[in-house]
Amino acid sequence: MKIKTALVQMDVVFGDPGANRRKVKQAVEDAVAEKADVIVLPEMWTTGYDFDFIKEELEDEASDTILFLQELARGHRVNLIAGSVAKKTEDGTFNTLLVFNRHGGLRKEYSKAHLFRLMNEEKHLTQGDEGGMFKLEHGYAAGFICYDIRFPEWMRTHMLHPKFTPDVFYVVAEWPKARIEQWRALLIARAIENQVFVVACNRTGSDPNNAFGGHSLVISPLGEVLAETGEEETTLYAEFDTEDVQEIRENIPVFQDRRTDLYRQ
């Protein structure tokens, strides 16, 4: 199925969910005017990594954001890979990716499995224990958050599901500018080795501790960069056909040729 994706590469206002929601509303309206089928937001876009805000003021912020996103998705009849938000639960505060279909249905919540020690994430947040697989109208896909892309075994695990095979990996991130070449290389490798489209939305701008690198990307299962931004605050558009994965997987059948007898599980 052909889909048009819109990746909202925004500069997140630190600790100000209201200001960030206003930005997202405008970006979604603009992307809908461009006839996007799937709109992708970056990681932690409501608060950024403002751990003081997250500890002291977060409260039910995630529920307000969920209602806001449901209305946007339903009102504009558009699918949202709605980035991730800090979400407080009785088991801890998680960095949670939210996915909505065109009817406003919350189709997936995936909490970041690999917390990033270099930014003290594990001191403030709780790691998720479940996978990122979900289904939208274009078929199966999986969602990942930033540091997750350094763990090929985690992404490969999603390809080995006994019943469902994703055709697209969506990645949402606050990836620093200092390591942006690693971001590109890791994403291209994950696309080639798993024979999937990779749609990766990073934030731009800076917070008190880091400058972020933008360079949101859409990559084909052959590792071709179909679209890429620079560092500016913008929305990146790309169209592709999820059915293209079939021929690529038939040509080079890596999943048939795996030597599970040689690998450590």
Ligand X SMILES: O=C(O)CCC(=O)C(=O)O
Q: In the complex, what is the shortest distance from the CB of residue 121 to ligand X, in angstroms, rounded to a whole number? A: 6
Is residue 43 among the annotated active site residues? yes
Rg value, the chain, Cα: 17
Establish if 144 lies at the interface with ligand X (CB under 6 A). no
Q: Which of 119, 180, 189, 226 forms a contact with ligand X (CB under 6 A)?
A: 119
Is residue 2 among the annotated active site residues? no
Q: In the complex, what is the shortest distance from the CB of residue 43 to ligand X, in angstroms, rounded to a whole number? A: 6
Q: CA 13, CA 48: separation in Å to the nearest integer? A: 7
Q: In 76-114, which positions are buried (b, 16+ CB within 10 angstroms) versus exposed (e)?
A: bebbbbbbbbbbbeeeebbbbbbbbbbebeebbbbbbbb
Establish if 146 lies at the interface with ligand X (CB under 6 A). yes
Establish if 147 lies at the interface with ligand X (CB under 6 A). yes
Distance of CA 144 to the CA centre of its chain: 5
Q: In the complex, what is the shortest distance from the CB of residue 213 to ligand X, in angstroms, rounded to a whole number? A: 10
Q: Among the options 87, 112, 174, 201, which is catalytic?
A: 112
Establish if 124 lies at the interface with ligand X (CB under 6 A). no
Establish if 179 lies at the interface with ligand X (CB under 6 A). yes
In 3-state terms, what secondary structure has residue 210?
A: coil
Is residue 201 among the annotated active site residues? no
Q: CA 31, CA 9: separation in Å to the nearest integer? A: 12
Sheet holding 38-40, edge to edge: 106-111, 92-100, 79-89, 38-40, 2-9, 234-241
Q: In the complex, what is the shortest distance from the CB of residue 176 to ligand X, in angstroms, rounded to a whole number? A: 6
Which C-beta is closer to ligand X: that of 104 or that of 176? 176
Q: Which of 37, 61, 174, 207 forms a contact with ligand X (CB under 6 A)?
A: 174
Q: Which residues are catalytic?
A: 43, 112, 146
Chain residues that interact with ligand X, rule: CB under 6 A: 116, 119, 146-147, 150, 174-176, 179
